[in-house]
Amino acid sequence: MGTGTTPAPGYVPLHRIRPETLSGATAQTPGMARAEALSGRTVGAQHLWMGKTVAPAGKVSAVHHHGAGETGIYLLRGRVTLFFGEGLRERLEVQAGDFAFVPAWAIHAEGNLSGEDAEALIVRSTPEAIAVDLPELRVPEDLQQPGT
């Protein structure tokens, strides 16, 4: 028997999500494509969103944040540059096999400055994807070059 607000363990259904059923009907940011797998909408998750993101070669996403959602990233293939900090002048280079963490409310953009698409597994601490685009902000042009 559970105590207080903690639910008791129970026999509840588990879910399998097939790759071909991932949904693009989730929060999107220009310059990348998110596909939702696990969420409040798809499996009834209460504290988790999980999906994949493709960052096309040579593209930099719009500047955005994810509200109260913390974001974990695992890069499956390719390379991505995360732009953040004052004036978006700081960079974090991520390559296949790396994990990255984006705190809640962190203003940032993703850039794929390479010649091949990048793909990442994304996990958020909210049951729905949050993407608040900030069109008044842009990554400085001089930083949108490989290795600058």
Categorize the per-residue pLDDT at 3 as very low, low, confident or very high, splitting at 50, 70 and 90.
Answer: low
Residue 17: inside a domain: no
Domain of 121, in residue numbers: 23-143
Write the pLDDT tens digit of every residue in 20-65. Answer: 889 888 888 888 888 999 999 999 999 999 999 999 999 999 999 9
Residue 55: inside a domain: yes
Residue 75: inside a domain: yes
Q: What is the pTM of this model?
A: 0.86
Rounded to an integer, what distance in angstroms lies between the CA atom of residue 14 and that of residue 139? 42
Q: What is the CATH number of the domain that holds 51?
A: 2.60.120.10
Residue 78: inside a domain: yes
Residue 117: inside a domain: yes
Residue 5: inside a domain: no
**33-38 vs 49-55, strand pairing mode:** antiparallel
Q: In the predicted model, is pLDDT for residue 2 greater than 70?
A: no
Residue 11: inside a domain: no
Mean pLDDT in residue range 124-137: 94
Identify the pLDDT of residue 147: 64
Report yes or no: 61 and 109 within 8 Å, Cβ to Cβ: yes
Let me know the angle formed at the C-alpha of 29 by 145 and 24, rounded to the nearest 5 degrees: 125
Residue 9: inside a domain: no
Question: What's the chain look like in SS3?
Answer: CCCCCCCCCCCCCCCCCCHHHCECCCCCCCCCEEEEEECHHHHCCCCCEEEEEEECCCEECCCEECCCCCEEEEEEECEEEEEECHHHCEEEEEECCCEEEECCCCCEEEEECCCCCEEEEEEECCCCCCCEECCCCCCCHHHCCCCC
User: Structurally, how many domains does the chain consist of?
Assistant: 1
Residue indicated by tokens 């001089």: 142
Write the pLDDT tens digit of every residue in 61-118. Answer: 999 999 999 999 999 999 999 999 999 999 999 999 999 999 999 999 999 999 999 9
Categorize the per-residue pLDDT at 4 as very low, low, confident or very high, splitting at 50, 70 and 90.
Answer: low
